[in-house]
A and B are shown apart, each in its own frame.
Chain A
Amino acid sequence: GAVVSQHPSRVICKSGTSVKIECRSLDFQATTMFWYRQFPKQSLMLMATSNEGSKATYEQGVEKDKFLINHASLTLSTLTVTSAHPEDSSFYICSAGPDGHLEAFFGQGTRLTVV
């Protein structure tokens, strides 16, 4: 299957700082990518849809000013958690699928810990 890569896999940051997470499609182009968040022992929750060359679409209850998404190219989307707080500590996962294909592929996830 297609490969989606996230970086970093783990990050620890201080409260009040911002953290950027990258999601790359390595062997295909993706006009749309998706960002999910997963708290311990819970399922994945869709946060937003990242659209290449246009604004992201956020799910209800997700603060767009706190979770900044940029999709500047067909192979890269970034999620920036601004002014991070301990409650933002979570597992963040991105997904993408080759245009015209039915499958979606996931990155390996980023474990964010805010101290």
Chain B
Amino acid sequence: DAKTTQPPSMDCAEGRAANLPCNHSTISGNEYVYWYRQIHSQGPQYIIHGLKNNETNEMASLIITEDRKSSTLILPHATLRDTAVYYCIVRVSGNTGKLIFGQGTTLQVKP
């Protein structure tokens, strides 16, 4: 599975959009981009995933560049409850959930 690079930390003002970048320059054509987040002392929570096209759900939007070497997770209106560690993971699809976690980005949403 391809390696990802994320900034270690970011701040965001409450109510503003949070844009979390991820570089995955060695991604293969059959690898998906997944985003999870982990709120302190809880298990990770699935946010969104995509292959080529941009994706949106009730939690966030995922923007993948045309060359697929990077992506951005967008939380449109960040709240204090969005403070968490956000993990960007790339992996081949399949009916398994084997995920290799990097260090992630600690997002601090401030009032």
Residues of B within 8 A of A4 (CB): 43
Contact of A93 among B44, B87, B98, B103 (CB under 8 A): B44
B97 and A32 within 8 A (CB): yes
Top 5 A-B pairs ranked by shortest CB distance?
A: A104-B97, A106-B43, A97-B97, A44-B101, A43-B101
Map CB proximity to A onto B72-109 as digits: 1 under 8 Å, 0 otherwise: 00000000000000010000010111111111100000
B42 touches A1 (CB 8 A): no
For the A-B complex with A46-B101, A104-B99, A111-B41 known, give 9 more contacts whose Cβ atoms are closer than 8 Å: A6-B43, A43-B101, A95-B43, A95-B97, A100-B95, A102-B93, A104-B96, A105-B97, A108-B42
B36 to chain A: which residues have CB within 8 Å?
106
Query: A96: which of B32, B97, B103 is its contact (CB, 8 Å)?
Result: B97
Given A34-B98, A44-B101, A100-B95, A1-B43 contact (CB < 8 Å): no
Tell me the smallest distance from the CB of B40 to a CB of chain A, in Å: 11
In chain B between 9 and 28, which residues have their CB closer than 8 angstroms to a CB of chain A? Answer: none
The distance from the CB of B4 to the nearest CB of chain A, in whole angstroms, is 12
Q: Residue-by-residue, is A81-115 near B (CB-CB < 8 Å gives 1, otherwise 0)?
A: 00000000001010111111111111111010000
